[in-house]
Structure 1
Amino acid sequence: MMKITFLVVLLFVLKNDGRLTRYQRQRHRSFQSSGKFRISPTTGVRIALPTPEQLIWQSQELGVLIHFNMATYLSDDGCTDQIVPNISLFNPYLLNTNNWVQTMVDFGAKYAVLVAKHACGFLMAPSDIKFPLSPSGEIISYNYTVDYSPVQGIDILQDFIQSCEEQQIRTGFYYTVVTNTWLNVDSGFVQNRTLKPGQINITQETYDNIVLQQLRALWTKYGALDEIWFDGGYTQSLKEPIIALLKELQPQSIAFNGYGVSSNPARWIGTEMGIAPDPNWSTGITNDGGDPNSPIFCPAECDTTLQEHDRWFWGVNATLRSLEELIQVYHETVGRNCLLMLDLTPDRTGLIPPAYARRYKQLGDFIRSCYGTSVEPTKRLTLDHSNIYIQLFDSSPVTIDRSVIQEDQTNGQVIRAYTVDVQIVNTTDTNQWFTVAQGTSIGNKKIDVWQRGLQLINAVRLTITKSVDRPVIKSFTVHLCS
């Protein structure tokens, strides 16, 4: 999969009843530049400030990236410039987006992004766009779409939106600008080469116009989108028109790797393996673990596959990553302050294969069973100006093997180091504290599976050992999952 230059996310605000409003209520708001920060009153350092949209985005934690398009019907994991697949191949005769969404629910996904157009050029939506061929000037329709396939008459994107809305799952579309095999486009440019079978010839100006018309249709016809992916970036000639289009249609947006594009930037973590560095900061604009000293709040997202060998589209003989590996992925993404976007890939019938659905549910079941509830203490104490948090289990010692910390980042990510210590039952000195975890970045969530393993304890203590301003802990819980 081509790596994303930026992802744009439109985030809703909450209604009084807790549900999400439509983006039209926010269209009057300004398209601001990113990079707001404050000066710490205690240390004098700059602290990057998040937008409300960034905090909401981080809190989702789990999402899916749905790879279902013409490439589903090929042996390769996507189109190349050597072949234009015949449109008759696209025939999901059992298509059911409710089936997709049930799998998302079983996994625990809070948002879903569907591939609207991938490298082949095949558009998953009906289109009324017309354009001239070169050099003849003949006007033709953009007829490499679902409406010219064996399942014509079905609006897959609308079905997807409706199915997700019924389960309150946020939605978005993936669209690649830089590749369109049908139109002989590579790296964003119409190629000056002999056409392959099935390709047609157009000018660069015509291609740019097609892109902008398709984006306008995708961003208006289907209402308020939470996420818009651009895979592979865009050409310089399209940059300003795309920014203007975003400002007009989706002004409250998060841009993935988009510092300077949106007031709500987010960044790629630098790998598609589902592993975030530790530490992973909510600040900084590089494609890695971020930078605690950056004045730019730019949280990270980790995209990865369910299938082995980095395969995104369904494959005939593809194998699945084990549950054990996916649990590790969860801990090394969500548990390291990174959103996990897991690939969801229907097969050629248009359904999620049963074995795939089971694996998604197995992972969701683990997350719910392990982290859905915590072991509640008999008493909680906060000491030393919010730097020490103690949970007591006086009446009944408990067996614990991990802890989860969430920092309140409303005024920025300020914690720079912490330790987790426990008082172990049946030791010589019951007042002695033993360190079971320590780290630096917390952010939205930090999960520590304890170095000492299972422990029978009567107290646990979180100590913030370094911060650039007064820390605020949103949540500190302990769990038994082994």
Structure 2
Amino acid sequence: MKTCATLLLFLFALVCQSLSIRHHRRLLSSAFGKYRISPKTGVRIALPTPEQLQWQAQELGVLIHFNLETFFADGFELRNIPSSSLFDPYLLNTDNWVQTMIDFGAQYAVLVAKHGSGFLMAPTDVKFPLNPSGEIVPYNYTIDYSPMKGRDVLKEFVDSCEKRQIRTGFYYSVVSNNYLNVQSGMVQNRSLEPGQLNVTQQTYDSIVLQQLREIWTRYERLEEIWFDGGYTESLKEPITALLAELQPQAIAFNGYGVSTNPARWIGTEMGIAPDPNWSTGVTNDGGDPDSPIFCPAECDTTLQDHDRWFWTNMTLRSLAEMIDAYHSTVGRNCILMLDLAPDRTGLIPINHARRYKELGDFIRSCYGTSVTPTQQLIVQDSSLHILRFDATPVTVDRSVIQEDQTNGQVIRAYTVDIQLVNATHSDQWITVVKGTSVGNKKIDIWSIGAQLVNGVRLNITKSVDTPVIKAFTVHLCN
């Protein structure tokens, strides 16, 4: 009997230990993101949400900088409180904005609802107490206190985008508000400038949450929410709850820690992603292939020179530079989010619109179609993809790979090899590309230039599970 009792106690301990381990794994999954264990290698593979995959597949978006800052020569550097009477875009037409988005090829658009000045582009019902008097005042630094009183630019923007199937989102600066003397999310302890209002930190946090609730409820489903500069620790928990309640499906830029659909900044505003650039990891760089967190990157950059976001009478970056930016972002597994800056009339300047269309025309002409093979083979457990052009040799100068990341990003290394028409024998292949991360899309422009080939193959030389290729194509571009 003693032996049986000991055995029962031993089995009971094993069961408890097993339950403890399973519970611990659930906590890890909850704390560090959803992942699976590869049956092939035993490593952790971060899993995306359906919303992240859909967002990543869009590839092109715009970030619309249009606010009171548009009407100042120094843009961001607001050292005083400019009057809201200056906001007078007398030709404002958001349909005009959307036409430029279509010409560029943007699939989604994020509009600055409130930037660092504190000026809000929509009506608000928020009222708050001043410090120390306690007097209740309205938040009067908005479009309703400008010559555009009675209009809601956020609604006009959403309505225009919906007509053309452009997904929408909003940028709201949580950490900056010059009107309320806030920097880095904190009310500053210093003398007020003319026009600034004095509030407590608790009041400021309450204003942020009330206005977020307004813009997250009045304009239906949002594709993306921008937390430029992040959020303070005191606002992290309430923003997390608010986001889960009102816009749980939205992609949250800089949103790791508050959203189940985070995206990360790439760490630069030049339109250049590192190579490799992984879909996983939460740092502002090329990511981490071993991270259990799926957090794809967004590459925001400007059309105007010198990192200018709001409209100024600034020269534009050349078409060649913008094509390079496309290849260094979308071509490196990063969403290209290009700034769109209406001028003081409320329209897109003609020279800006022309440059967006030129870039869109290049992308469509180069990558809208591919060179069709006479035969396509997939062998070696999906690790070798061969395009044959034996009937009619073709001239191509680049390749495009797209990985199906439904079950995570699994490719770790690959080569692209070509078989030249004048090869001495049928098994002679020349390697033209060696790469690592693929993800949503990897574009490789061959350093040896255009070649006349009978075949092109993708050889996946390292993966942490069986790879699934969504597309492998070759192109010839000017």
TM-score by length of 1: 0.91
Report the equivalent of 2:466.
470
Q: Deviations over 1:224-266 (max 9, x none)?
A: 1111112222222222111111111112233333333222222
Give the partner amino acid of 2:461.
T
Report the equivalent of 1:129.
126
Contact 2:243/2:259, CA 8 A, preserved across alignment: no
Shift of the alpha carbon at 1:137? 2.4
Q: Does 1:77 align with 2:75?
A: yes
| Distance in structure 2 (CA, Å) of the matches to 1:454 and 1:370 | 14
Residue 458 of structure 1 is aligned with which of 447, 454, 460?
Answer: 454
Report matched runs for 1:423-434 at 5 Å: 423-429=419-425, 431-434=427-430
| Distance in structure 2 (CA, Å) of the matches to 1:98 and 1:57 | 23
Q: Deviations over 1:330-388 (max 9, x none)?
A: 00100000011010000000000000000000000000000000010111111222111
* RMSD of Structure 2 on Structure 1 (CA): 1.5
Q: Secondary structure of the residue that 1:231 maps to in structure 2?
A: coil
| Distance in structure 1 (CA, Å) of the matches to 2:124 and 2:36 | 47
Q: Which has the higher contact order (CA 8 A, sep 6+)?
A: 1
| Distance in structure 2 (CA, Å) of the matches to 1:355 and 1:340 | 20
Q: Does 1:421 align with 2:417?
A: yes
Residue 356 of structure 1 is aligned with which of 345, 352, 355?
Answer: 352
Contact 1:416/1:468, CA 8 A, preserved across alignment: yes
| Distance in structure 1 (CA, Å) of the matches to 2:227 and 2:40 | 41
Tell me which moved more, 231-240 or 281-290. Answer: 231-240
Report the equivalent of 2:43.
45
Q: Secondary structure of the residue that 1:331 maps to in structure 2?
A: helix
Give the partner amino acid of 2:323.
I
Shift of the alpha carbon at 1:284? 1.3
Report the equivalent of 1:224.
221
Shift of the alpha carbon at 1:79? 4.1
Contact 2:224/2:253, CA 8 A, preserved across alignment: no
Shift of the alpha carbon at 1:429? 3.7
Report the equivalent of 1:92.
89
Shift of the alpha carbon at 1:294? 1.4
Report the equivalent of 1:24.
none
Shift of the alpha carbon at 1:34? 5.2
Q: Percent identity?
A: 74
TM-score by length of 2: 0.92
Report the equivalent of 1:143.
140
| Distance in structure 2 (CA, Å) of the matches to 1:294 and 1:202 | 41
Gaps of 5+ in 1: 1-31
Report matched runs for 1:253-292 at 5 Å: 253-292=250-289
Report the equivalent of 1:407.
403
Report matched runs for 1:107-122 at 5 Å: 107-122=104-119
Report matched runs for 1:12-411 at 5 Å: 35-80=33-78, 82-316=79-313, 318-411=314-407
Contact 1:38/1:47, CA 8 A, preserved across alignment: yes
| Distance in structure 1 (CA, Å) of the matches to 2:240 and 2:153 | 27
Q: How many pairs does the alignment contain?
A: 450
Structure showing the higher helix proportion among its residues? 2
Contact 1:281/1:299, CA 8 A, preserved across alignment: yes
Aligned CA distance change for structure 1 residues 90 and 353 (closer, same or farther; 3 Å): same
Shift of the alpha carbon at 1:218? 0.4
Contact 1:34/1:263, CA 8 A, preserved across alignment: no
Gaps of 5+ in 2: 1-29
Bigger Rg, structure 1 or 2: 2
Report the equivalent of 2:23.
none
| Distance in structure 2 (CA, Å) of the matches to 1:455 and 1:361 | 29
| Distance in structure 1 (CA, Å) of the matches to 2:249 and 2:157 | 22
Shift of the alpha carbon at 1:320? 0.6
Contact 2:222/2:250, CA 8 A, preserved across alignment: no
Give the partner amino acid of 2:41.
T
Q: Secondary structure of the residue that 1:381 maps to in structure 2?
A: strand
